[in-house]
């Protein structure tokens, strides 16, 4: 089972029902158990921080569909997941250029625009200066950034306020990104500053513009369309290795917020050897809920097992750092000097 886990919510549900002695769902409905599972898995992650992931995102990102109005969202295909809400909402209308808002308001149309507008993010890299910032989406299960780099250079977090304060042309400024800022939590997106001067990758495949390079695969589950991973299966060593490319990509190490389970075939984000702890938490909540099946002693038992599991997994997380060498340093002093330049003596005469 190890390589592709292959255990889904339906399997976990069967186990839960065995321990609840409610095989037909006479007391606890499937929806109740699923909602409890989603709740407990968030709680478990908050307490242990065990889930962390690494991803290389291509720039620009690719989306299945672009849409404009909020109401369009409900009509988007359910078998796809990556959608880009483009252009700008203005009342009941969608506008491209900023002067259009003046046109609608009946005032003098005199606001110039700084560039072209687009419905898909890749269009912003087709030679014209963009008229709006280009959003990148964090992975679907993203919670917080632990480390981020663009084209092998670490970049820092900032705010739009700081960027606007120092660069009036921040929308069109182009160069190697030095920072990123959060665009919106609900949209789960961020903006690289300045805009990367990207040339599409060579080695084109498929139709139209060179969206895909060799080795890119499409991934709906991680919430990112193109994940570049050459695969080097090496069964003789008992392990296969994917290579996470960092060149010309955003390289992101992030804290995971587990995806909610929705259907019977969904697979939990936790590896199988950690799912039992989520099960313990769900059992505790089920037995403790105010239903005909309430048994407080069992709620306490499974609750205790859940707490032991939390401590156990905290130790597991600590174990990942067992090979670290720790050194004692003086508080307040930089542990190392990054750049070692020759120093002139204090008494050296000023010129």
Partner 1 sequence: MNSIEQKVLELVGENVDAPDVFTEAGITQIRDSVNDAIQEIAILTGGLKRQYFLPLRAGQAFYRFRLQSGYFGWVTDAWDIVRRARLEQTDPIRLSAYDPRWMTGSGYPDAYMQLGGDVIGFYRKPSSSSGGIELTIVEIPEEYSGDTDRIKLRDSFHSAAVHFAVGEFWASRGDAKEASAHGRMYLDALGMKEMYSTSRWATPSLSTGKEPWPRATA
Contact flag: residue 241 with partner 1 (CB under 8 A): yes
Of residues 83, 88, 85, the one with CA closest to residue 70: 85
Chosen residue from 65, 142, 183, 251 binding partner 1 by CB under 8 A: 251
Chosen residue from 336, 340, 341, 343 binding partner 1 by CB under 8 A: 336
Of residues 212, 182, 213, 180, the one with CA closest to residue 196: 180
Contact flag: residue 26 with partner 1 (CB under 8 A): no
| Distance (Å, whole) CA 193 – CA 203 | 27
Contact flag: residue 294 with partner 1 (CB under 8 A): no
What is the DSSP track for 268-329?
-SS-HHHHHHHHHHHHHHHHHSSSTT--HHHHHHHHHHHHHHHHHHHHHHHHTTTTPPP---
Binding span for partner 1 by CB under 8 A among 109-117, 128-136, 157-165, 266-274: 266-274
What is the DSSP track for 172-213?
T-BSS--EEEEEETTTTEEEEESBP-PPPPSSEESSSS--EE
Q: Output 69 or 320, the one with its CB closest to partner 1.
A: 320
Contact flag: residue 237 with partner 1 (CB under 8 A): yes
Residue with tokens 């936790």: 270
Minimum separation from the CB atom of position 24 to partner 1 (A): 16
Considering only residues 117 to 146 of the shown chain, the ones binding partner 1 according to CB under 8 A are 146
Contact flag: residue 80 with partner 1 (CB under 8 A): no
Chosen residue from 161, 321, 327, 343 binding partner 1 by CB under 8 A: 321
Contact flag: residue 292 with partner 1 (CB under 8 A): no
Contact flag: residue 33 with partner 1 (CB under 8 A): no
Minimum separation from the CB atom of position 153 to partner 1 (A): 7
Burial class (CB in 10 A: 0-12, 13-18, 19+), 58: buried
Q: Output 340 or 343, the one with its CB closest to partner 1.
A: 340
| Distance (Å, whole) CA 42 – CA 39 | 5
| Distance (Å, whole) CA 282 – CA 210 | 47
Asked if residues 262 and 30 have their Cβ atoms less than 8 Å apart, the reply is no
Q: Output 161 or 318, the one with its CB closest to partner 1.
A: 318
- Tell me the sheet residues that pair with 150: 153, 250
Binding span for partner 1 by CB under 8 A among 25-33, 82-90, 118-126, 243-251: 243-251
Binding span for partner 1 by CB under 8 A among 58-66, 117-125, 192-200, 317-325: 317-325
Contact flag: residue 217 with partner 1 (CB under 8 A): no
Contact flag: residue 176 with partner 1 (CB under 8 A): no
| C-alpha dihedral sign at 246, 247, 252, 258 | negative
Applying CB under 8 A, the site for partner 1 has a residue count of 64
Q: Output 91 or 238, the one with its CB closest to partner 1.
A: 238
| Distance (Å, whole) CA 56 – CA 191 | 16
Q: Output 149 or 162, the one with its CB closest to partner 1.
A: 149
Binding span for partner 1 by CB under 8 A among 11-19, 63-71, 124-132, 260-268: 11-19
Burial class (CB in 10 A: 0-12, 13-18, 19+), 236: exposed
DSSP 8-state symbol, 105: H
Chosen residue from 47, 49, 98, 276 binding partner 1 by CB under 8 A: 276
Contact flag: residue 110 with partner 1 (CB under 8 A): no
| Distance (Å, whole) CA 204 – CA 33 | 46
Chosen residue from 68, 149, 179, 213 binding partner 1 by CB under 8 A: 149
Interface residues with partner 1 (CB under 8 A) are 1-3, 15, 18-19, 21, 51-54, 146-147, 149, 152-154, 229, 232, 234-235, 237-247, 251, 253, 271-273, 276, 295, 297-298, 300-305, 307-309, 311-313, 315-316, 319-325, 336, 338
């Amino acid at each position: 089972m190890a390589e592709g886990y292959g255990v889904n919510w339906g399997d976990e549900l069967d186990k839960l029902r065995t321990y609840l002695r409610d095989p037909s769902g006479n007391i606890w409905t499937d929806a109740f158990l699923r909602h409890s599972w989603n709740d407990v898995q968030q709680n478990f992650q908050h307490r242990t921080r065990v889930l962390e992931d690494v991803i290389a995102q291509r720039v620009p990102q690719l989306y299945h569909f672009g849409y404009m109005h909020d109401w369009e969202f409900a009509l988007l295909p359910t078998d796809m997941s990556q959608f880009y809400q483009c252009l700008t909402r203005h009342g009941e209308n969608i506008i491209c250029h900023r002067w259009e808002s003046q046109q609608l308001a009946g005032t003098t149309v005199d606001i110039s625009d700084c560039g072209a507008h687009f419905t898909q993010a890749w269009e912003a890299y087709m030679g014209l200066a963009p008229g709006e910032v280009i959003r990148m989406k964090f992975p679907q299960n993203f919670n917080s950034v632990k480390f981020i780099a663009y084209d092998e250079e670490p970049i820092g977090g900032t705010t739009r306020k700081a960027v606007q304060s120092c660069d009036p042309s921040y929308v069109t400024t182009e160069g190697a990104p030095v920072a990123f800022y959060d665009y919106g939590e609900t949209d789960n997106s961020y903006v690289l500053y300045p805009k990367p001067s990207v040339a599409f990758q060579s080695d084109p495949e498929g139709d139209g513009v060179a969206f895909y390079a060799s080795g890119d695969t499409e991934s709906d589950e991680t919430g990112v369309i193109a994940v570049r991973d050459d695969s080097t299966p090496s069964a003789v060593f008992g392990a296969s290795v994917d290579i996470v490319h960092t060149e010309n990509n955003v390289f992101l190490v992030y804290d995971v917020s587990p995806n909610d389970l929705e259907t019977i075939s969904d697979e939990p984000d936790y590896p199988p050897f950690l799912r039992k702890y989520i099960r313990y938490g769900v059992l505790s909540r089920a037995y403790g809920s105010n239903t005909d099946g309430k048994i407080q002693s069992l709620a306490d038992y499974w609750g205790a097992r859940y707490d032991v599991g939390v401590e156990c997994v905290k130790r597991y997380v600590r174990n990942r750092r067992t090979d670290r060498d720790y050194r004692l340093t003086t508080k307040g002093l930089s542990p190392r000097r990054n750049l070692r330049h020759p120093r002139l003596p204090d008494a050296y005469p000023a010129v």
